Every structure is written in C-alpha cells, then in structure tokens.
Structure 1
Amino acid sequence: MTVLLQVDDLIKKFGGVTAVNNVSFPVLKGEIFSLIGPNGAGKTTMFNMISRVLPVTSGTITLDGKDITREAPHKIAALGMGRTFQNLAVFKHASVVDNLLVGRHSHMTTSVLGGLFFGPSTRAAERAHRKRVEEIIDFLEIQHVRDVPVGALAYGLQKRVELGRALATEPKLLLLDEMVSGMNAEETEDIARFILDLKEELEITVMMIEHDMGIVTDISDHIVVMNFGERIAYGTPEEIRANQHVIEAYLGHKPAERAGVNDG
C-alpha cells in the first residue's frame, strides 16, 4: 500500500528534556492508525509536531510525498491534514453550521472585492461551501441541531461538531486526539462507527491517539506504541496484544513476574 504519512527519526527536546526520541513509523493511505501509550509517553507531542503546532528538534515528516517538517502551521489544512484536539476547541456561541463553515476557510479563495460586492462567482462559492457543510451534517447525523449554539449541546454532540469542522477542511489525513475521552458507551460506539465510515465511505486516512483500548483494537489497522518518548512497538492489533514490551509498559511488570505474585 501507499505511504501517506512518513515520520523519520523524529526528536523533540524541551530544554534538557527529550519528550520524543528518534521515533519513526509509516501511516498507510486508507488505513486507521492508532498511536497509544501510557500517560506522558509523548503521544500528543508527536501529534503537535506532525500538525506543525510544535517545531521539530530533528527528523523529518513527509505528507503525501511532500516534506512538511518546516511547513508553517497555517498551511497544514491546505496541504490535506485535519485535526481535532483533546480539549474541545469549538466556538460555543456560534451555531453548528457556522462552526463547520469555519473549517471551509482554507478553501475560500474569494477576493476582498468579490466578497464586498458578493458577485455571481462569490455567491456560487458560498453555495458550494454550504452544500459541503450540509453533507457533513448529514454524515454525522446532527441535522436536528444544525442551528443550535454549540455550547448548548451535550458533550458528545460537541465532539461531533469538532469532528465535522475537521472534515470540512477536506483532509487526506485526519488526526483525532482522544475523540472518545469523557464519552459514555453509546457515544463511544457512535464515534467508532463514524471513524470506520470515514475510512470506508469517504476514503480518509485516520490517525488517532486513544486510551480506549477497545476501540483501538477493534478498528485499527496498525498501531504504534510509545513509552517514555520512544517507540516500543509497531504492528497490527493482534501483534500489539502479544508484544511483551507493550505488556510491560502497561502493566509495569513482566507476565512471568506477575504469575509468581501471591495476591492473597
């Protein structure tokens, strides 16, 4: 399969602290890829470097054959990368529709004069943007709240709106940072279904950070496991479940050691 994102020898240092140490991995086009690890493993730092929120100390990041290691953060959406954040980053006083229209910003090419006089080409572009937003609203099944201020919605619906805004950028690669954190079982199942539909119906490559191991092993094609800033495993869900380094990282001991412990 074609590699969409390639991370090579990535390092991030904050003063004397190395948060990410020489990490490499590929993300294949059309797959669901998960980045997991204990708290403090360096996952969000990795996401922030890939999306150019943080500068890279050394190493390279390639998206669809283009080196984006030093790319300006505001250009990333136009290059085909969308992202959600661990903490909600929606405009709570704006409606669902208006929040999604913000995601169309990188595709808006109307000139100042065109916007001022709202000529035929500007009106056509506006209709196209709104049509795309309505398609996303239908896809995420949020038609019933399309005109509601996002701050008035339940947490799970707010997360859908944030996902929708990322989709409005028309990404090749979508980075999802703990999408199901704080959700109940039903909301988690809905998000898992939407992520699978992103892959199968919209053909969007998904890379996600997630602590819910159920959703990770159920829907991921490949997984990278990080611990203390380093990559300790890469493989399919089956391979990751059987990896001794992963078991040690999550349990804090080797299985053989655990077997000899008397819990009584």
Structure 2
Amino acid sequence: MNAILEVSQLGKSFGGVHAVQDVSFSVKRGTICSLIGPNGAGKTTVFNMISGLVPPTRGTVRFEGEAITGLPAHRMAHRGLGRTFQNLAVFAHASVVDNILVGMHSQLSANPLTAALYWGCVRKQEIEARRRVEEIVDFLEIQSVRDLPVGTLSYGLQKRVELGRALAMNPRLLLLDEMVSGMNQEETEDIARFILDIKEQLDVTVLMVEHDMGIVMDISDQVVVLEFGKKIGEGTPSEVSQDPRVMAAYLGNARSDAA
C-alpha cells in the first residue's frame, strides 16, 4: 500500500525555540493515522506545516508523491487536503447547509461576473454543490437540523457541521485536529463511527491529532508519538501502547491522571 503523505525531517523554530525537530513519518493511503503526545509536543505545529498554515523551517512534505512544502493553505484545499480545527470556526448565524456550502468554494470555478449572471457552467456547479451538500448532511445524520443556525446547535452537532464542511472540499486526505475534545461519551462514539465510515465508505485517508486515547486505540491503523517536538515512537496501536518511551511520555501520564 503506497503512502499518500510523506513527512521528512520536518522542523520548525520560533526564534530560539525548536517546536518541532526532524520529524519523519508517512501515512498509507486508505488508513487512519493518529498523531499523539503530551501538551506542547508539537502535534498542532506539525499539522499547521502539513496544511500550509505555517511554513516549515526545514524538511519536506510530499502529498501523493508531489512536494507541497510551504504551499499556502488554499492551494492545499485545491490539491485534495481538507482540515478541521480544534477550536470551532463555524458561522454561527448561518444555517447548517450554508456552512457546509462554504467548504465547496475550492471546488467551484465561478468569477464575480459569471456568478452574478448565474448561467451555464456556474448554474450547473451550484446545482452539483447543493446535491453534494445534501449527501454530506445525510452521511453525518444531521437532516433534522439542516436549516437551523449552527450557533443554536449542541457542541457535538457543531463539530459535525465543521466535519461536513471539510468533507465538502472533496479531500483525499482529511486532517482532524482534536475532533472529540470537549465531547461527552455518546458524541465521541458518534464521531469515531463517522471517521471509520469516512475511511471505509468515502475512501478518504485520515490523519488526526487526538488526546482521547480510547478513540486513538480503537480506530487507528497507525500511531505516531511526539514528545518535546521529536518523534519517540511509531507503529500500530498495540505496538506503541507497549513502548516504554510512549508509556512514560504519554500513556503513563494519562493513567496516573485517571488514578
């Protein structure tokens, strides 16, 4: 199985602070890969470099064999990378459907003139976009709230809307940043089910940053572990859970906190 994403010796420095140091890993097509580690380990910085929000100080990122290192975020969306964020970034006063439609923007080719005239290919694209949004609404089981302002929904449903907006980009690689943070057990289980369905039914590869070790161990095919900006472990969930370095850096801390 070939790699859809290859990260090689990626590094990021902020002044004299080395947030990420020589991190390398690859994500196989058709899998779920989790990037884990304690707070401050550099996980979100790695995500930001992959998705084009932060330029790396050193190293390379390759997507489907092509170098994308340092490309701006909007170019990433055109290439087939979608992303959610840890903090909600929905349009609270807009409806669920309109929020998801925003994600279709990277797939449309209208300019101000053709959009104003609303004819020909622009009309066809609009119809196709709305059809695609309805598919996403059905997939995420949010039909009953499709016309409601997103700000009136529960936190868990708002996260589904954000996930739907990322899916509207028609990604081949989906980056999920702390999707279940702040969710209750039922909402977490729902999201875990949707992530599995995204991989299996939509054939989208998933790379996620996650603190919830339950969802990481349950649905991941591969786990990459960071500590203080460096990779300290990589493998299947069972392999990393038995790695002494990982247990000391992350799992051990989680268990002691729970106790």
TM-score (norm 2): 0.96
Task: Report if aligned partners of 2:52, 2:71 keep a CA contact under 8 Å in 1.
Answer: yes
| SS class of match (1:188) | helix
CA contact (8 A) 2:49 2:70 kept: no
Shift of 1:124: 1.3
Q: Tell me the amino acid that sits aligned with residue 53 of structure 2.
A: V
What is residue 42 of structure 2 aligned with on the other side?
42
Query: Paired residue for 1:145?
Result: 145
- 2:10 is the alignment partner of 1:10: yes
Match of 1:245 in 2: 245
Shift of 1:74: 1.6
- Structure 1 residue 66 displacement after superposition: 1.0
Runs of 4+ aligned residues of structure 1 deviating over 4 Å after TM superposition are none
Contact 2:8/2:61 (<8 A) preserved? yes
Residue 58 (str. 1) matches residue 22 (str. 2): no
Q: Distance in 2 between matches of 1:121 and 1:181?
A: 41
1:127-206 alignment, distance < 5 Å: 127-206=127-206
Deviations 1:126-145 (A, max 9, x none): 10000000000000000001
Match of 1:79 in 2: 79
Larger Rg: 1
Question: How much has 1:40 moved relative to structure 2?
Answer: 0.6
Write out per-residue CA displacement over residues 197-220 of structure 1, whole angstroms, 9 at most, x where no aligned residue: 000000000000111101000000
1:33 match:
33
* Aligned residue pair count: 253
Tell me if the contact between 2:22 and 2:230 (Cα under 8 Å) persists in the aligned partners.
yes
CA distance in 2, matches of 1:72, 1:185: 36
Deviations 1:59-115 (A, max 9, x none): 000001110002122211001000000000111111001100100001111233321
Give 1:3 deviation, angstroms. Answer: 0.3
SS at the partner of 1:160? helix
Structure 2: segments with no counterpart, 5+ residues:
none
User: Does residue 1:213 correspond to 2:209, yes or no?
Assistant: no
Q: Report the Cα distance in structure 2 between the residues aligned to 1:18 and 1:115, rounded to whole angstroms.
A: 46
Kindly indicate whether the alpha-carbon contact (under 8 Å) linking 2:107 and 2:169 is maintained by their aligned counterparts in 1.
yes
Q: Aligned partner of 2:118: which letter? A: F
Q: Secondary structure at the match of 1:103?
A: helix
Partner of residue 235, structure 1? 235
Give the CA deviation at 1:36: 0.2
SS of the residue aligned with 1:87? coil
Counterparts of 1:18 and 1:242 in 2: how far apart (Å)?
28
Aligned equivalents of 1:73, 1:139: Cα separation in 2: 26
Which residue pairs with 2:124 in the alignment? 124
Aligned residues: percent identity?
Answer: 62
